[in-house]
Amino acid sequence: MDSCASALEFNERLFQLTKDLADASLVVERLECHWGHFGSWLIEVSLKDRCDAYGSALLEGQYDVLGPSVLRCSWDGRDRKISLSKASPNVPLSGPTGYTELESKVLNNFEKSITFSRAAILEWSATLG
């Protein structure tokens, strides 16, 4: 496979993950795709209802409202390591600042990192929901 096709397939697979998460009422707040760095990637997600409530509060001038909870999944393609971290509580008018690692493990390949992350994100969202 040539580089263009490989990079396209990599990005399409991550885009599919974002679509799957949106279908589960999860907001992908951040997505980084690093095909040229061993296929590494990072995604941060929040619950749709909490993002909507936070956005509405800000539009109404309620600037002291805490932001939604955020979960970060990152895949280090070189070390083949997936890490899950939750953000510290978002202070008003700020994004995530500090993260606490929840789990980290070595997986065989990129596809397993996607499958593992999807399941972990859905499990996390169920605990908040």
Percent of the chain with pLDDT over 70: 99
Q: pLDDT band for position 92 (50/70/90)?
A: confident
pLDDT number for residue 23: 98
pLDDT number for residue 27: 97
- Is pTM, for the whole model, over 0.75? yes
- Whether the pLDDT of residue 93 is over 90: the answer is no
pLDDT number for residue 1: 72
Distance CA 129, CA 36 (A): 36
CA Rg value for the chain: 16
Do residues 32 and 42 lie in contact, with contact meaning Cβ atoms separated by under 8 Å? yes
Q: pLDDT band for position 111 (50/70/90)?
A: very high
Tens digits of per-residue pLDDT, 29-56?
Answer: 999 999 999 999 999 999 999 999 999 9
Give the chain's domain count: 1
Q: pLDDT band for position 65 (50/70/90)?
A: confident
User: By three-state DSSP, how is residue 84 classified?
Assistant: strand
Instruction: Please state, in angstroms and as integers, the Cα–Cα distance from residue 63 to each residue in 46, 50, 55, 58, 67, following that order.
Output: 19, 15, 10, 6, 10
Q: pLDDT band for position 96 (50/70/90)?
A: confident
The domain of 14 spans 3-128
pLDDT number for residue 95: 78
Mean of the pLDDT values across residues 108-116?
Answer: 96
In sequence order, which residues have a C-beta less than 8 Å from that of residue 109 and are 6 or more positions away?
80
State which amino acid sits at residue 7: A
